[in-house]
Amino acid sequence: MQRFVADRMLGKLAKWLRVLGCDVVYLKGAAEEEILEKLQEGRTLLTRNRRARSWQGKGRVFVVKDNDPKIQLREVVKGLGLRDLDRAIFSRCLSCNHSLDKVGREEVRQEVPEYIYQTQKEFHRCNNCGRIYWPGSHAVRMRQQLREILKD
């Protein structure tokens, strides 16, 4: 799986890529040096800044054209030839980009709403920020949206 760094304009795209399980560092207000550092670590830079093309020599740069995050996702998936997108879906924390661990239902009982505890079987917890995830209507909707976005 490719690793990415997304610059300030691409927060929503970063989130969509995380849904797919991609490792995406999102630098909201980063200075150029910080972005360059990530680029040199081997991350592909996702940016809307055309001038960033001049950094190609330092690493892989992908300039996103569209304004709409969903179309941007399509651009990235097609442009970089990302495959097997189903394999790692929902395996990463959408808010902090760390990976999720499977946890038992009892372990999260106190932390999730009673209704969720009663109706869900599978839970995952972010190993960094502690956020808890479960499949549910949100995930179903996201899968549908992804299918729409990435059809053909």
Task: Give CA–CA dist 72/105, Å, rounded.
Answer: 36
Binding flag, residue 101, Zn ion (CB under 5 A): no
**Smallest gap from residue 40 Cβ to Zn ion (A):** 25
What is the smallest separation between the CB atom of 99 and Zn ion, expressed in angstroms? 9
Which of 13, 11, 5 has the alpha carbon at shortest distance from 31? 5
The answer to whether residue 126 forms part of the interface with Zn ion (CB under 5 A) is: yes
Residue with smaller CB distance to Zn ion, 56 or 127: 127
Six token digits for residue 78? 């097609």
Helix H, strand E, coil C: the string for the chain is CCEEEECHHHHHHHHHHHHCCCEEEECCCCCHHHHHHHHHCCCEEEECCHHHHHHHHHCCEEECCCCCHHHHHHHHHHHCCCCCCCCCCCCECCCCCCEEEEECHHHHCCCCCHHHHHHCCCEEEECCCCCEECCCHHHHHHHHHHHHHCCC
Regarding 128 and contact with Zn ion (CB under 5 A), the answer is yes
Contacting Zn ion (CB under 5 A), which of 129, 136, 138, 140?
129
Identify which range of 5-13, 19-27, 39-47, 97-105 contacts Zn ion by CB under 5 A. 97-105
Restricted to residues 42-71, the positions that interact with Zn ion (CB under 5 A) are none
The answer to the question of residue 96 lying near Zn ion (CB under 5 A) is yes
Nearer to Zn ion, 70 or 98 (CB): 98
Which stretch, 17-25, 56-64, 87-95, 107-115, contacts Zn ion (CB under 5 A)? Answer: 87-95
Closer residue to Zn ion, CB minimum distance, 53 or 138: 138
Residues that bind Zn ion (CB under 5 A): 93, 96, 98, 126, 128-129, 131
